Amino acid sequence: MKEKFLGVDVSSYTYNQLKKNIISDIEQNKQSFIVAINPEKILQAQKNVILLRLLNQATYQIPDGVGVLLASKIYGGNISERVTGIDMLLTLCEQASTYGKSIFLYGAQPGVAEKAKENLLRKYPNLNIVGVMDGYVDDHEYIKKQINAAKPDILCVGLGSPRQENWIVDNMKNLDVRIFQGVGGSFDVLSGRVKRAPATFQRFGIEWLYRLITEPWRIKRQIKLPMFLYKVWKNKKYNYS
Ligand code: UDP
């Protein structure tokens, strides 16, 4: 259930398939790692083989970004639905709340994950959030101790990319946790500190346009999308001719 874009694996599971897999991974005591893949990360991985290995090491590389969907189309693949990091996090909360699984929020500035917790509990009153910690604590032993004492089934790590992915790979073997997800700036959005694009932008997959209007300096990151699609197209032409 994976497709490869310029060497980076992307899972073609939909939310519904991921929902089932996550619960079954927890029941089977399997450790899984979810990473969100967008064109920017795929391009970074072209220049950084360690990052490439790191991304391919994940259990589920979710297709976060319309660029990945377009790349799948170019290759004649099956990825037809975006699975964004924040919606995956909400899906985990929904599943945890339905199946009685616990969750821990780690990352963002002091107070942010705390506020995100309050808002998540408003949305999922039965959700068992067993801990929160900000992403600026330096004592790694302390962090691990707190997480292991709380024994969450699911750990959401919001330290930004690729810091959070490195952190997960370096620490997962020593943590009594089943599901790990790198969630980027999701706690900032869930806490209300940063606004998400309005629903219409989300529905049409053009959140990038909203972010460009509200944060014009992101153009530097977004300009990479056409370059990504060109590389994918060239790679296909090269491989098939
Ligand atoms: N962050 C953190 N610790 C750090 C550096 C960053 O907790 O040492 C947090 C930061 O507060 C923010 C998130 O990581 O909540 C990064 O968000 P961003 O949107 O930049 O991440 P992206 O999804 O773009 O990787």
Would 47 be classed as within a structural domain?
Answer: yes
Would 206 be classed as within a structural domain?
Answer: no
Alpha helices in 28-131 (DSSP H): 39-47, 49-57, 66-74, 85-99, 112-123
Residue nearest to atom 15 of ligand 1 (CA): 108
Would 197 be classed as within a structural domain?
Answer: no
Per-residue pLDDT of the chain (241 residues; tens, 9 = 90+): 899 999 999 999 999 999 999 999 999 999 999 999 999 999 999 999 999 999 999 999 999 988 999 999 999 999 989 999 999 999 999 999 999 999 999 999 999 999 999 999 999 999 999 999 999 999 999 999 999 999 999 999 999 999 999 999 999 999 999 999 999 999 999 999 888 888 888 888 788 788 888 888 877 777 888 999 999 999 887 765 4
Would 154 be classed as within a structural domain?
Answer: yes
Structural domain span for residue 170: 2-189+219-238
Number of domains making up the chain = 1
> For a pocket test of ligand 1, which of 159, 165, 168, 218 has the largest count of ligand atoms closer than 8 A to its C-beta?
159
Which tokens sit at 122?
């408003």
pTM listed for this prediction: 0.92
Would 140 be classed as within a structural domain?
Answer: yes
Would 195 be classed as within a structural domain?
Answer: no
Q: How far is the CA of 156 from the centre of ligand 1 (A)?
A: 12
Query: Which residue carries 């998540």 as its tokens?
Result: 120
